[in-house]
């Protein structure tokens, strides 16, 4: 597995109107170890220009959508999409870049040559108040710990903002490329594909693989959630999450 640490790792960054945050994300990447590919989808701002100025490869797609942007980039990578690669939200950045990449790669290269693997690294939310962000972040980490070896993609911890894939075989790749336009839970759709092909999910919780992320679907203050109740709060936050998605998308729900 060691040769993976001496070649540049493809690094997919789906981005929709992220001109205010994309530079902070790119500055945090270990440029000597990664090959960032910014998949700009449906943007109307300067995200693509800023990524090009930073020296990144830029894949411009006319339609908005995170999963379609990831799929288009995987197609462009060809056989390299079967090797370890990272997916990071454009408003997310690793706290300790080199250790983060090393830890995520280790999570993707330890189950044998024929076992497709996915990894969901921990995230720390930075929007909202300190108390709200801390509670939500710890809840997500607790969920990852409880489901570290889960075979049920509907129960895994937070993976979307900080994720790695090592697909290894073309059948798994082709099935990910054939997924519908899922949003939200596009990460679980990809993880479910890996698991359904006899694959493995790692959910490392070490601080060295922690990434800071701006968005959280649970944006309501805790005082409001307590007042209106959790069910109504879930409905409000879900509708907001969908609004930030793309036209024509649908949530991923396991049967």
Q: Is residue 208 part of a domain?
A: yes
| Partners of 211 in the β-ladder | 94, 123
Lowest mean pLDDT, pick from 25-29, 185-189, 237-241: 237-241
Read off φ and ψ for residue 13, nearest 5 degrees: -120, 95
Whether 238 shows a pLDDT value over 90: the answer reads no
Q: What is the pLDDT of residues 104-139, one digit of tens each?
A: 999 998 788 889 999 999 999 888 778 878 877 888
Rounded to two decimals, the pTM is: 0.90
- In a domain, residue 192? The reply is yes
* Residues whose CB falls within 8 Å of the CB of residue 91, separated by 6 or more in sequence, listed in order: 18, 21, 25, 161, 213, 214, 215
The answer to whether residue 159 is domain-embedded is yes
pLDDT for 217 equals 52
Query: Per the domain annotation, does 249 fall within a domain?
Result: no
Residue 225, in any domain of the structure: yes
CATH number at residue 71: 3.90.550.10
* Reported confidence tier of residue 147, pLDDT bands at 50, 70, 90: confident
Question: Can you tell me the distance from the alpha carbon of 24 to that of 17, in angstroms, rounded to the nearest whole number?
Answer: 14
Q: Which domain holds residue 55?
A: 2-243
- What is the distance between the alpha carbons of residues 43 and 66, in angstroms, rounded to a whole number? 12
Instruction: Please indicate, yes or no, if residue 72 is contained in any of the structural domains.
Output: yes
Q: Domain for residue 254, yes or no?
A: no
What is the total count of domains within the chain? Answer: 1
- Taking only the tens place, the pLDDT of each residue in 54-105 is 999 999 999 999 999 999 999 999 999 999 999 999 999 999 999 999 999 9
Between strands 117-120 and 200-202, the pairing is: parallel
Does 251 fall in a domain?
A: no
């Amino acid at each position: 597995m060691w040769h993976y640490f001496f070649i540049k790792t493809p690094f997919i960054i789906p981005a929709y109107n992220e001109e205010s945050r994309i530079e902070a994300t790119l500055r945090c990447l270990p440029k000597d170890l990664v090959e960032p590919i910014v998949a700009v989808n449906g943007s109307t701002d300067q995200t693509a220009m800023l990524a090009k100025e930073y020296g990144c490869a830029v894949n411009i797609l006319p339609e908005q959508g995170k999963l379609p942007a990831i799929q288009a980039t995987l197609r462009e990578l060809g056989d390299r999409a079967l090797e370890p690669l990272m997916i990071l939200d454009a408003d997310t950045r690793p706290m300790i870049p080199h250790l983060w990449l090393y830890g995520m790669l280790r999570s993707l290269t330890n189950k044998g040559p024929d076992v497709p693997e996915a990894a969901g690294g921990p995230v720390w939310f930075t929007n909202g108040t300190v108390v709200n962000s801390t509670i939500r972040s710890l809840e997500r980490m607790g969920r990852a710990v409880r489901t570290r070896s889960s075979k049920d993609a509907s129960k895994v911890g937070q993976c979307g903002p900080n994720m790695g894939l090592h697909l290894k075989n073309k059948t798994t790749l082709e099935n990910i490329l054939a997924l519908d336009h899922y949003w939200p839970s596009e990460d679980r759709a990809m993880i479910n594909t890996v698991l359904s092909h006899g694959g493995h999910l790692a959910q490392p919780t070490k601080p060295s693989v922690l990434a800071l992320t701006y968005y959280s679907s649970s944006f309501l203050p805790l005082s409001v959630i307590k007042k209106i109740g959790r069910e109504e709060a879930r409905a409000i936050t879900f509708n907001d999450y969908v609004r930030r998605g793309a036209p024509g998308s649908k949530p991923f729900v396991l049967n």
